[in-house]
C-alpha cells in the first residue's frame, strides 16, 4: 500500500491536532500513527522535525496558551542558553487575572510581568535577556544560580553590567538571591564546571585568580588558560570530557609543553576532583605556596 502523503502545511512546524482534523488536512487515525510526534496535549509535529525544548516552548506559547509569556529557564533556551532539557516542563507566565492552566508538560504560573521585561523571540512573547537571567537566578539556589548568569553572559546575548543593574532594581521573592548570584558571576567561564571551580576556590579563601588569561611565550600566543596567578606562575585548568577527543589530546599536550617550558606550573582539575573539594583545594593551595 502506498503511504499517505504528508500535507505541506504540517511538515515543518507544530500544529494543533484538532484544528488539522477539522480542516480536513489529516484524520484522527493517521494523527495517532507513527508519522507524527505528540509534543503536548493536542500539539503534534512531523517525526522528521527535531524535538527541542525551544520547539515545545514556542508551540506552547503560540498554540496552547495564547497570551502567555515564556519565562525562566524556557526563556533562556529561546535565547540560546540550554538551561532546560528537551523534555522538561515549559515555563509560561500568565497575567494574575487569567484562569489557572494545568497541563502535562507545562509549568504555568500567574504573575505580573512588567512591560520593560518583555520582548519577542522566535515569534512568541518572552522576557529580555536581562530579565531572564535575573528571574532564573532568583529561582535557582547556590552555585547553580551563578552558573546560569555566567552562561547567559558567556553566550554573548547580554553583558554582565546590565544584568547587575536589572538585579539591583528587582523586587519580590528571590530578588536578594539574584543580586548575590549576579555579584558572584563574572561572565568569563567557558563551562558550568569552571564557574563551580571558581566559586569553590573563592569559598576556600584562595587568592583570586585571573580568569581566561592570555598566556604568551617567545614564540607568541600559547592560548587562554582557565585560571592563573601570574605572580606565582601557576595555572589551573578544568579538563572536560571534550579534552579526551583524539584530535584534542595532541593539541593539549603541545600547549602544556609550551606552558611548562615558559615556566608555568599547571594543575589539572577533572569532574572527579570536584567531588573531593577538600583534597582539590589543598592541592591548589600547595601549588600556590611553592
Residue 279 is given by DSSP the state: H
Indicate the pTM of the whole model.
0.87
| Residue-range domain boundaries for the chain | 8-46, 53-184, 192-289
CB 166 within 8 A of CB 174: no
| C-alpha distance from residue 267 to each of 139, 225, 270 (Å) | 34, 11, 10
192-289 folds as Endonuclease; Chain A (3.40.960)
User: Strands 234-238 and 265-269, how do they pair?
Assistant: parallel
CA distance 211 to 190: 10
- How does 142-172 read in b/e, with b if 16+ C-beta sit within 10 Å? ebbbbbbbbbbbbeebbebeebbebbeebee
Composition of the chain by helix, strand, coil, percent to 5: 45, 20, 35
Mean pLDDT (the chain) is 92
- What pLDDT, in 10s, does the model give residues 236-285? 999 875 445 566 666 778 888 899 999 999 999 999 999 999 999 999 99
- What pLDDT, in 10s, does the model give residues 145-168? 999 999 999 999 999 999 999 999
- What pLDDT, in 10s, does the model give residues 123-133? 999 999 999 99
- What pLDDT, in 10s, does the model give residues 236-245? 999 875 445 5
Burial class (CB in 10 A: 0-12, 13-18, 19+), 206: middle
Q: What is the pLDDT of residue 189?
A: 93
Phi, psi of 102, rounded to the nearest 5 degrees: -120, 115
Q: How confident is the model at residue 108 (pLDDT cuts 50, 70, 90)?
A: very high
Neighbours of 219 (CB within 10 A): 9
Amino acid at each position: 500500500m502506498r503511504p499517505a502523503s504528508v500535507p505541506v502545511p504540517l511538515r515543518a512546524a507544530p500544529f494543533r491536532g484538532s484544528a488539522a482534523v477539522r480542516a480536513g488536512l489529516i484524520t484522527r487515525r493517521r494523527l495517532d500513527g507513527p508519522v507524527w510526534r505528540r509534543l503536548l496535549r493536542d500539539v503534534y509535529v512531523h517525526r522528521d522535525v527535531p524535538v527541542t525544548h525551544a520547539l515545545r516552548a514556542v508551540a506552547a506559547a503560540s498554540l496552547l496558551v495564547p497570551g502567555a509569556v515564556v519565562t525562566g529557564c524556557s526563556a533562556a533556551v529561546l535565547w540560546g542558553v540550554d538551561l532546560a532539557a528537551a523534555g522538561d516542563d515549559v515555563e509560561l507566565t500568565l497575567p494574575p487575572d487569567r484562569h489557572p492552566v494545568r497541563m502535562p508538560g507545562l509549568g504555568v504560573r500567574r504573575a505580573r510581568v512588567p512591560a520593560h521585561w518583555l520582548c519577542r523571540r522566535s515569534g512568541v512573547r518572552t522576557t529580555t535577556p536581562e530579565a531572564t537571567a535575573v528571574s532564573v537566578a532568583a529561582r535557582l539556589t547556590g552555585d547553580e544560580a551563578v552558573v546560569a548568569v555566567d552562561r547567559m553572559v558567556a553566550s554573548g546575548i547580554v553583558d554582565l553590567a546590565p544584568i547587575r543593574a536589572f538585579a539591583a532594581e528587582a523586587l519580590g521573592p528571590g530578588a536578594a538571591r539574584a543580586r548575590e548570584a549576579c555579584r558572584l558571576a563574572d561572565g568569563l567561564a567557558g563551562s558550568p564546571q569552571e564557574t563551580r571551580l571558581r566559586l569553590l576556590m573563592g569559598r576556600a579563601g584562595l587568592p583570586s585568580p585571573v580568569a581566561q588569561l592570555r598566556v604568551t611565550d617567545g614564540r607568541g600566543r600559547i592560548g587562554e588558560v582557565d585560571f592563573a596567578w601570574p605572580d606565582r606562575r601557576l595555572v589551573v585548568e578544568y579538563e572536560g570530557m571534550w579534552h579526551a577527543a583524539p584530535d584534542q589530546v595532541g593539541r593539549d599536550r603541545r600547549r602544556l609543553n609550551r606552558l611548562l617550558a615558559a615556566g608555568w606550573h599547571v594543575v589539572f582539575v577533572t569532574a572527579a576532583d570536584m567531588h573531593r573539594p577538600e583534597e582539590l583545594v589543598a592541592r591548589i593551595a600547595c601549588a600556590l605556596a611553592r
